[in-house]
Amino acid sequence: MTTEKLVVFPACSAPGPVQAAKQDKIISKTWSFATPRLLLRESPTRSETSSWGEVLHIAIIGSGISGLVCARLLSRDHDVTVFESAGHVGGHAHTVSIDLDGQSYDVDTGFLVYNDRTYPVFSQMLRDLCVDTVPTSMSFSVRCDRSGLEYNGTSLNGIFAQRQNSLRPTFWKMLRDIGRFNRNGSRDFSTLPDDLTVGDYLTTGGYSAAFAQQYLLPMGAAIWSCPREAFLQFPIRFILEFYHHHGLLSLTDRPIWRTVAGGSKHYVDKLISPFRDKIRCNHPVSRVRRMESEVIVSHVGGSEAFDEVIFACHSDQALRLLDDPDELETELLTSFPYSDNTAVLHTDSSILPQRRRAWASWNYRIFRRPETRPTVTYLLNHLQGVRSPHSLCVTLNAEDMIDPAHVLRRFRYSHPVFTTERAAVQQQHGSVIRRRRTSYCGAYWRNGFHEDGVVSGLAVCRRFGIPGWSSDQATLHRPATVAANRDAAS
């Protein structure tokens, strides 16, 4: 079986022969890593795709990255309608404009960063959409109110930002365990069983409480926006594979992280430009009924009939909307619990580490009170290069600890929580694509991030007979008669 080469969106300018060869080589390699088994199968059978020239009326529920990728590709040959319950397009790609002292700032509150190594398809999409991006810092700090500990893991000055750390035996034990975990993880990540949890791995390995509570669990909780106790139940193989690919088990082999210049709204605007008029914001769907010959979507404006429906929302939301979920759908969609998080955009720097040299891009806070949800603060001045005399922050789950006078906006986001059943369930994604006139996509089918949303959306598009876009003419790899047939049908 050969690996497919894919250019997802039309390039803004035709590459030269050397550049094109390099792009092909990169895409060939990264596509095999980024794409689930479904996309690496041989070409789909005719029964899996729509007939050439047949125009389908497709409802897409959700305008996050997965839904927008589906809408962008499918709208070239089909009539798509995107339903979005919120007042903005993009899901977690949410840029807001704020005014401080007469100065306007565009900042992101959900999706913030990506890198070329582990986001290969998303990166290609941004390049082909001519979206400007800039390098960013991905430093990480921990502030523990229970022990008084503070550190920033980026440099020696940050690690010992609190000078008495050098006198703490528990701190040195934590540092030694970090090195041991990285070495063991690099060795073990491909051989561990899928049902072994993070907690079990830590116990078996004899790692210290300081390492677990003040390093590994805060980092995991920050990455997946889940409680530290929930992270203990994550499958360790999943975590180590993720850490390995992202260079988190190494001090040197780390990807260069980037952020969208001016905010993620710029990529969203370019992505939706061909089908902007097909998006209905503030249009929550209340029910989806599947008939033998059509799908009835009930929403705030009434009910409409479609040929097919694509659920590009969270799995629990999709299950609630289905009028008659069957046994397979119920089993798969209930396998991804979600963690709800309140995000506050603010300028209260007291939520950050007390010592400024411990400030980082990601700042985890452990309060004295029992923790039910993670508290992490994203310092946008570092992450997005925001030049402001104010510390622009997005903090999860600490509303009562932020001075109300410094609060700018509030948001709610939900993030998938992964269990030891994750791998077996995700392998069945293909079984619920174009089944009963229904398809599902979303980042929860992989690791929970933007790249995963793109890849799962492409998995759905493939079943509609769309393998990807050409890099020069922005035309589908299809017979020329398709466009003519579509025009005739309309």
**Does position 4 have pLDDT exceeding 70, yes or no?**
no
Residue 481's CB: how many other CB atoms inside 10 A? Answer: 11
Encode pLDDT of 75-125 as tens digits.
999 999 999 999 999 999 999 999 999 999 999 999 999 999 999 999 999
15 has pLDDT over 50: no
Lowest mean pLDDT among 36-45, 219-228, 342-351: 36-45
Q: What is the CATH number of domain 134-257+338-416?
A: 3.90.660
**Average pLDDT estimate for 199-218:** 96
Residue 359 has a pLDDT of 96
Share the mean pLDDT of the chain: 86
DSSP string, 122-150: HHHHHHHTT--EEE----EEEEETTTTEE
Asked which of 2-6, 129-133, 136-140, 421-425 is least confident by mean pLDDT, the reply is 2-6
Q: Do domains 17-92+266-335+420-489 and 134-257+338-416 have the same CATH topology?
A: no
User: How confident is the model over 374-401, as a mean pLDDT?
Assistant: 95
pLDDT at 468: 58
Q: If you average pLDDT over residues 1-8, what whole number do you get?
A: 38
Q: Please spell the DSSP secondary structure of 193-258, one letter per residue.
A: -TT-BHHHHHHHHT--HHHIIIIIHHHHHHHHT--HHHHTTSBHHHHHHHHHHTTTT-SS--PPEE
* Between residues 415 and 42, the one the model is more confident about: 415
Q: What is the mean pLDDT of residues 323-328?
A: 97
Residue 424, Cβ neighbours under 10 Å: how many?
Answer: 11
pLDDT at 34: 36
Predicted pLDDT at 12 = 56
pLDDT at 403 over 90: yes
CATH no. of 17-92+266-335+420-489: 3.50.50.60
Return the number of other C-beta atoms located less than 10 Å from residue 351's C-beta.
21
487, pLDDT greater than 80: no
Average pLDDT over residues 251-257: 87
Local confidence band at 53 (pLDDT 50, 70, 90 cut-offs):
low
Across the range 364-372, mean pLDDT stands at 86
Q: Where do the structural domains in the chain lie, given as residue ranges?
A: 17-92+266-335+420-489, 134-257+338-416
The encoded tokens of residue 486 equal 């579509």
pLDDT surpasses 60 at 488? no
Q: What percent of the chain has pLDDT over 70?
A: 84
* pLDDT, mean of residues 141-150: 93
What is the percent of the chain with per-residue pLDDT over 90, rounded to a whole number?
A: 75
In the predicted model, is pLDDT for residue 329 greater than 90?
yes
User: 310 near 67, Cβ under 8 Å?
Assistant: yes
**Residue 410 or residue 168, greater confidence:** 410
- Is the pLDDT score of 153 beyond 90? no
Query: pLDDT at position 371, please?
Result: 75
> pLDDT category, 23, cuts 50, 70, 90?
very low
Residue 154: its pLDDT value, please?
A: 82
Question: Residues 413-426: pLDDT tens digits?
Answer: 999 999 888 889 99
Are 137 and 382 in contact by the 8 Å Cβ rule? The answer is: yes
DSSP state of 401: G
